[in-house]
Amino acid sequence: MERNGLAHRDTEKKIGRWILGICGFIFLSFFLAPMTLEPGTVTNAEGRANALDFYDGEGWGSSGNENIAQHPDGDHLHQGYHWSEMNPYAAFAYAFGDLNCHQKHERSWELNDNQLPVCTRDLGIFAGMLFAGVMFTQRGWNRWTVRDTCLSVLPESMLQSTYKNNRRTLLWLGCGLVLCLPLIFDGFLQLLTNYESNNLKRIITGLPFGFGLGILMCSMFAARADAFVGAGTVLLPGDAKFVLASTASTQEAE
């Protein structure tokens, strides 16, 4: 019997491997895609996050190419590219980056004289998600709720007092805050002040955020109440037990 009261954790392993595989493929593609292009195909690009800017030379989804702008420092022009004209593999990677990342060249690495599809912050985030897939494959357990499934990756000894005192939500939110704060602090300090981060800090602050996001994603798929006969059959740290609200109310009334 596993730590959650079920006979096996095959589903959790499968979910962890799926997250690991998908995030690993995307992460590696960020480095491999530039190698499949002619050197100098993507340089000095700068677009917008959550928008398509480099689909083609003009028309829909091509504002980044239609508005080639002078850099604030005045030392070069922002240049565009057309991912619709790339090979399918590179087109996938750069389209993904175009949609999800601002692709600021000064915050991105280059490989084969080509700017990577995403900035270094996003590299850190995807690396963190990749590690989360590994962690969940090894230590993730379905414990009925998303919150308790997330917490299952923590050492059991650390969770004993948390469950005895029913501080699960506090610990869950606290862990999320700790993982998000480095990215929030670095990003908003840069946005609101003259502080300018660097690529190493962007990767370091992206890693914990991506790890937390990856664990949350795994837990959202793995948390399945229908895998248990009832809430009371879920094994929890500290000999704690789930009690349905209706049952608890009846017991208090008696």
What digits encode the pLDDT tens for the residues 81-108?
Answer: 899 999 999 999 999 999 999 888 889 9
Q: Give the model's pLDDT for residue 232.
A: 86
pLDDT in tens, 177-193: 999 999 989 888 877 78
Q: What are the structural domain ranges in the chain?
A: 10-249
Does the structure show a pLDDT above 50 at 60? Answer: yes
- 175: burial class by Cβ within 10 Å (0-12, 13-18, 19+)? middle
* CA-to-CA separations, 100 to 70, 119, 126, 135, in angstroms, rounded: 23, 10, 12, 25
Measured in degrees and rounded to the nearest 5, phi and psi for residue 238 equal 70, 20
**Structure confidence at residue 241 (pLDDT):** 87
Q: Tell me which DSSP letter residue 48 carries.
A: -
- Mean pLDDT to the nearest integer, 114-129: 96
pLDDT tier at 251, thresholds 50, 70, 90: very low
Residue 74: the pLDDT is: 56
pLDDT bucket at 69, cuts 50 / 70 / 90: low
Q: Which 3 state secondary structure label does DSSP give 25?
A: helix
pLDDT in tens, 39-53: 999 988 888 888 888
Q: Which residue has the tokens 């500290």?
A: 238
Q: What pLDDT does residue 252 have? A: 40
pTM for the whole structure: 0.88
> Whole-number mean pLDDT of the chain?
88
DSSP label at residue 110: E
**If DSSP codes are grouped into helix, strand and coil, which group holds residue 111?**
strand
Cα separation, 64 vs 51, whole angstroms: 10
